[in-house]
Structure 1
């Protein structure tokens, strides 16, 4: 679960936040992480109390066509995350090879690393978790080293963290703030966490055991997200201090020339660890989502082959005909895409965990319902604002405008439809077993 907060999309978002807004968006990073923890808590509680993960509850709650559309939306988020992993790994290999291995070759190499993780998966989930912990440690050490070497201004760091401001910010900075939210609160991670908690045995006939499991899963998630937040903070602060106003093509120059070649290679190792570890996150999520929404089981290698193929084709075309700067822009748009998919995870998880028939005595309280409801409204509003800003940069033609208006109408129609279905859950029939049943 922690890996989804440290994948290449997050690292790239951190880099861009520092380069376009210095320390001004650190409070957005911290706020998004806290809200992410809130969502992970709800996700874990759903899995612990009901004994079913989010996709399985959706399968039992929604009609066939809306369920299919929802599955497609989640799959888009998974593929987008997979594309970010491909981009991050390719850039890391490009830097580690001193630019001798072209970007398109690095993209192709990512096919092999996927099957390496499938091999590790055979040795059990706990060993795989330990390996993930090792990769997170690599990221903490490498990015922490960069932080110590660059020595960002600590007063500016603290001001950026605790004072919500963005003086002089324009559409570029606002777009980056949206990207941070999309990179941190990832929709497919909410589906993933609700399934991962099922790997621990909990006696759901005993309320005390369920309550205890909820408490320790929350503590576990809080520690994991605190570590991921510190690493994200390291990256943002480093590039806010010395990378402000530059573009992604200058990464190697900035780190290599200003702080020595070791700094550049250490950065690349951290990115490589982020890319490698995020591979299996998408794999596991895709497996749970497909089994839950479609009641269809594929072998993991088949699932990986499908999503990785979809992710690699557009990425390799960009690397062949463009460069690292275009990959950066592509990564930014993928973060925004994640943000646009958020309602399709937020609305179900908020509704299901607020349903007495699903959660029994563990349903959300009034305060939690208000907080999460406000969060959902804010996120959807941010998405619509982004669309309005983004439209201004597109070619002004009737065809483009009509396509955008149609897309927005369809998007909002489906979001409102999901809201109406979930409101009816409070008076509907129970969809999954609870400790009360």
Structure 2
């Protein structure tokens, strides 16, 4: 679960955050992790209490066509995330081989490495988790090394972390702050986490065991996200300390004059312009190599490689659970990998072949982060709906104040989505055709968000679900019999009462 907060898209967003705003946006990163923890807590509780993960509950809760649309939207999020992982891995191999492995070859290699790591799954889920921990450790050591040699001022890092303000920030820096939230909180992770908790053996027939499991899953998630926050913090601090207020010509001068043992083809990666320094995974590695020696370049690339490899498997598991839940079909994992990785690789390899070099492929990350933001409501709203529903959660449904808080958070995120999409279209596709397409997308997007929000408000008790008439055909009530609370049924059996009465007692 924590790997989704450390994929190459997140790392690049951290890099750009530091390069564009210095240390001033670290608090946004911290806020994103705190909000992420609270939302992940809901996902874990759903899996523990309902015994079903988010996609499985959605299968019973929504009508057929909305359910299919929701599945497609989540698949888009997974494919977008997978493309970032492919790009990150290809660039890491490109740097480690000193350009001997071209980008298109690196993209193709990612097909093979996924299947190579897949065999570890045969040795048990715990051993696979250990392998994930190993990759996280590599990221902590590599990015931590860059943090140590960069030596940013501790006072500046602390101030940026705990003072929620961005004095004199321009629009680009505000958009960067929005991008940080979009990169950190991944939509498909909400579906993944609720499914992962099912790998733990929980006696759901006893209420106290469910309470205990919820507590320890919260602690586990907190530790995991604390680790991912510090790794992200390392990246923001390194580039906030080194690239903030630097132009391309400034860094080019360092590359040409320094005794850093950098190959000549890296020394000319930055042009001689006075524009803000180019900040992406590729140029970030070259900056580190020019500033601290070529070893820093290779260590950076190893960290990016670990990030890409670990998040690849995260996307694979999320895709499998989503497909099994929404479609109620089971497909072998290697087939699932072949499908999602092919969908991610095809557009990526086309860009690598027909583009003019690494500069263009790294620019894809901005578009992919935008896609992640666009899909966010399709993960947050269902999770809030299910965890607020007494049909699903029984006495573990979220409280009134939690409903208010999470609704406010969801409203803020959705508003940010509209703002970010408007700015992105205005900057990149500012034409009549572009705005016409954008208008149609927003129309259908808004209709579907309203549809999902209706069920969320009903689950929270704001008004009753209609069970008759034309309105009920558009919003059919959920299949209540699909949700159980085994500890209540167990108590009912011991008391000699009927199962149906035990369930009926918890209806609205």
- 1:393 is paired with a residue whose SS is helix
* Alpha-carbon distance, 1:297 to partner: 1.2
**How big is the shift at 1:37?**
0.2
1:33: which partner in 2? 33
Q: Does 1:202 align with 2:219?
A: no
Quick check: 2:19–2:240 contact (8 Å CA) kept in 1? yes
Q: Which runs of 5+ in 2 are unaligned?
A: 245-275, 465-476, 490-508
Give the aligned length: 437
Whether 1:128 and 2:128 are equivalent positions in the alignment is: yes
The answer as to 2:330 corresponding to 1:289 is no
2:9 paired with 1:9:
yes
Deviation at 1:29, TM superposition (A): 0.4
Q: Distance between the aligned counterparts of 2:128 and 2:78, measured in 1?
A: 20
Q: 2:423 aligns with which of 383, 389, 411?
A: 389
Cross-structure match for 1:173? 173
**Cα distance in 2, alignment partners of residues 397 and 360 from structure 1:** 51
Q: What is the match of residue 159 of structure 2?
A: 159
Cα deviation 1:254-278 (Å, max 9, x = unaligned): 1112101111111111111111111
| Superposed CA offset, 1:375-418 (max 9, x none) | 10000000011122123214443222111111111111100011
Matches of 1:322 and 1:121, distance apart in 2: 39
Higher relative contact order (Cα pairs below 8 Å, separated by 6+ residues): 1
Residue 326 (structure 1) aligned with residue 360 (structure 2): yes
Aligned residue among 374, 380, 385 for 2:414: 380
Partner of 1:54: 54
CA contact (8 A) 2:73 2:375 kept: yes
The reply on whether 1:299 has 2:350 as its aligned counterpart is no
The CA distance in 1 between the partners of 2:400 and 2:192, in whole Å, is 26
Shift of 1:36: 0.3
Partner of residue 436 from structure 1, selected from 460, 472, 488: 488
CA offset digits 1:116-171 (Å, max 9, x no partner)? 12111111111100000011011111111100000112222111111122223233
Map of 2:220 onto structure 1? 220
Contact 2:7 2:308 (8 Å CA) reproduced: yes
TM-score, normalised to structure 1's length?
0.97
User: Structure 2-normalised TM-score?
Assistant: 0.84
Q: Considering only CA atoms, is the larger Rg found in Structure 1 or Structure 2?
A: 2
Listed as ranges, the gaps of 5+ residues in structure 1 are: none
Distance 1:270 1:250 in 2: 15
Q: d(CA) in 2 for partners of 1:322 and 1:36?
A: 37
Q: Which moved more, 1:414-423 or 1:192-201?
A: 414-423
Determine the C-alpha separation between the residues in 1 that align with 2:77 and 2:242: 32
Q: Deviations over 1:87-110 (max 9, x none)?
A: 110111011111221111111111
- Matches of 1:359 and 1:160 in 2, distance apart? 39
Equivalent residue number for residue 148 of structure 1: 148
CA contact (8 A) 2:385 2:455 kept: no
Aligned counterpart, 2:471: none
**Mean Cα displacement is larger for which, 152-161 or 88-97?**
152-161
CA distance in 1, matches of 2:105, 2:24: 36
What CA RMSD, in Å, does the superposition of the two structures yield over aligned residues?
Answer: 1.3
